[in-house]
Copies of this chain bind each other. A is one copy, B any other.
Amino acid sequence: MKDIEEIAINAKKASLVLAGLSSDIKNNALDRIAKALVDNKEFIISQNEEDLKKAKILLENGEISQSIYDRLKLSDAKFNDMVAGVLDVKKLPDPINRTLSATKIDEDLELYKVSCPIGVIGVIFEARPDVIVQISSLAIKSSNAVILKGGIEAILANTALVKIINDTLSTIVEFPDNVINFVKSREDVNNMLSLDNYIDLIIPRGSNKLVQFIKGNTKIPVLGHSDGICHIFADESANIDLGVKVAVDSKIQYPAACNALETLLVSEKIADKFLPLLKDKMFENNVKLRGCDKTRKIISDIDVATDDDWKTEYGDKILSIKIVSDIDEAINHINTFGSGHTDCIISESKQNVEKFMALVDSAGVYHNVSTRFADGFRYGLGAEVGISTNKTHARGPVGLEGLTIYKYKLFGNGQIVAEYTGENAKKFLHGRIF
State whether the Cβ of A119 lies closer than 8 Å to any Cβ in chain B: yes
Contact stretch, chosen from A153-161, A295-303, A404-412: A404-412
- A414 and B369 within 8 A (CB): yes
Nearest CB on B from A322, distance (A) = 19
Which residues of chain B come closer than 8 Å to A405, judged between CB atoms? Answer: 390-393, 395
A335: Cβ under 8 A from any B Cβ: yes
On whether the beta carbons of A20 and B364 are closer than 8 Å, the reply is: no
Does A378 lie within 8 Å of B219, measured CB to CB?
Answer: no
> With a CB–CB cut-off of 8 A, which chain B residues contact A363?
407-408
- A380 near B430 (CB under 8 angstroms)? yes
The answer to whether A364 and B219 touch across the interface, beta carbons within 8 angstroms, is no
Contact segment of A28-36, A62-70, A266-274, A351-359: A351-359
| CA–CA, A253 and B414, complex, Å | 15
List, in ascending order, chain B residues with CB within 8 A of A392's CB.
118, 200-201, 221, 223, 392-393, 405
Q: Are A372 and B417 touching (Cβ within 8 A)?
A: yes
A343 to chain B, nearest CB (A): 10
A173 touches B (CB below 8 Å): no
Q: Is the CB of B379 within 8 A of A408?
A: yes
A359 touches B221 (CB 8 A): no
A217 to chain B, nearest CB (A): 9
- Do the beta carbons of B410 and A364 come within 8 Å of each other? yes
The reply to whether B242 and A414 form a contact with Cβ atoms under 8 Å apart is: yes
* Known A242-B414, A253-B416; contact A361-B119, beta-carbon cutoff 8 A: yes
Q: A358-B20, A361-B119, A392-B201 are in contact. Are A379 and B105 (CB under 8 A)?
A: yes
> With A119-B391, A406-B395, A417-B372 as given contacts, are A412 and B367 in contact (CB-CB < 8 Å)?
yes
Determine which of B223, B378, B421 lies in contact with A253 in the assembled complex, contact meaning CB atoms within 8 Å.
B421
- CB within 8 A of A410: which of B369, B406, B428? B369
Q: Taking CB as reference atom, which chain B residue is nearest A356?
A: B409
If the complex has contacts A380-B430, A391-B201, are A408 and B221 also in contact, measured as CB distance less than 8 A? no
Q: For A365, give its contact among B367, B409, B414 (CB under 8 Å).
A: B409
Kindly state the separation between the CA atoms of A391 and B144 in the bound complex, as whole angstroms: 12
Given A253-B421, A380-B428, A417-B372: A364 touches B395 (CB 8 Å cut-off)? no
Would you call A390 and B216 a contact (CB within 8 A)? Answer: no
Q: Kindly supply a per-residue 1/0 record for chain A positions 71-114, scoring 1 wherever the CB is within 8 Å of any chain B CB and 0 otherwise.
A: 00000000000000000000000000000000101000101000
Instruction: For the complex, give the distance between the alpha carbons of A395 and B407 in Å.
Output: 7
In the assembled complex, how far is the CB of residue A422 from the closest CB belonging to chain B, in whole angstroms? 10
Q: Does chain B have a CB within 8 A of A245?
A: yes
The answer to the question of A314 belonging to the interface, with a C-beta cut-off of 8 Å to chain B, is no
A209 to chain B, nearest CB (A): 14
Closest to A395 in B: B405
Chain B neighbourhood of A358, CB < 8 A: 19-20
Q: With an 8 A cutoff between CB atoms, is A418 at the interface?
A: yes
Whether A355 contacts B20 by the Cβ 8 Å rule is yes
Can you add 10 more A-B contacts, CB < 8 Å, to A392-B393, A397-B408?
Answer: A111-B380, A216-B219, A248-B416, A253-B418, A364-B409, A367-B412, A368-B412, A368-B414, A369-B413, A390-B405
Nearest 8 Cβ contacts at the A-B interface: A369-B412, A249-B416, A380-B430, A372-B417, A200-B391, A242-B414, A215-B219, A393-B393
Could you list some 11 contacts between A and B, CB below 8 A?
A: A17-B359, A105-B373, A221-B221, A246-B415, A246-B416, A353-B411, A362-B407, A367-B409, A369-B411, A369-B415, A393-B393
